[in-house]
Amino acid sequence: MGRHRIITPASLEETIELGTSYGKNLPPNSILALKGPLGAGKTSFVQGLALGLGIQDLVQSPTFTYLTLYEGRLPLYHFDLYRMRTESDFFSMGFEEYFCAKGIVAIEWPERLGSNLPLQALVIEFSYAPEGSGRVLTFF
C-alpha cells in the first residue's frame, strides 16, 4: 500500500477540526477521495474543510444530489457518488472538469469512479475504531 498516516479522532468534533486544518492548507486543484461506511465521518470532515476554506454555508451530505458547490477562499466541490450507478455516469455529466477548476474537490464514495480516480487524489479511508472508541482515518 505504500506510506500512509493514521489519525484517530475521538469524536466527530475532532474530525471536523481535522478537516478545518486541511481546508486552511490545501492548494487549489486538491482532490480528496473519502472512503468509508455510512456514518463514519466523511461528511463531518467535509464540514471542517468548508470551515477551513471560510465557507459559511451549512454543509450536508448531498446524498440525492451528486454535486454541491460552495464558495469560499477556494471553491469547494462536494461530490457524493453513493447513488451513482456507473463511472461513465460521472464522466457523461462532465464532472471531471472540476478536477482542474482551481478549487478543492471532496468525493464521497470515490469507489464509484473505478480506476478513473485521478492519481494525485489524497485517499482518506474512514473506519470505526475498535470497541466504539471513535473513528480511524487512514491517509494514503
For the chain, what are the domain ranges? 12-37+44-55+67-87+102-118
For residue 26, the model assigns a pLDDT of 97
Query: Residue 101 pLDDT more than 60?
Result: yes
Q: What is the DSSP letter of 133?
A: -
Q: For 30-70, what is each residue's pLDDT tens digit?
A: 999 999 999 899 999 999 999 999 999 989 876 678 999 99
Give the Cβ contact number of residue 5 at 10 Å: 9
- Strand partners for 67: 79
Cell numbers placing 47: 464540514
Task: Report how far residue 125's alpha carbon sits from residue 1's, in angstroms, rounded to the nearest whole number.
Answer: 13
**What per-residue confidence (pLDDT) applies to 2?**
57
* Among the listed residues 8, 36, 14, the one whose alpha carbon sits nearest the alpha carbon of residue 123: 36
Q: Does the structural domain 12-37+44-55+67-87+102-118 have CATH classification 3.40.50.10860? A: no
Q: Give the number of other CB atoms < 10 A from CB of residue 74.
A: 22
pTM of the model: 0.92
In single-letter form, the type of residue at position 102 comes to K
Q: What is the pLDDT of residues 115-140, one digit of tens each?
A: 999 999 999 999 998 876 788 999 99
Alpha carbon 6 to its chain's center: 16
Share of the chain above pLDDT 90, in %: 77
Scored b (16 or more CB within 10 A) or e, 81-117 reads beebeebeebeeeebeebbeeebbbbbbbbebbeeeb
Which has the closest alpha carbon to 15: 65, 56, 59, 57? 59
Classify the C-alpha dihedral 88-89-92-96 as positive or negative: negative
Question: How large is the average pLDDT for residues 88-110?
Answer: 95
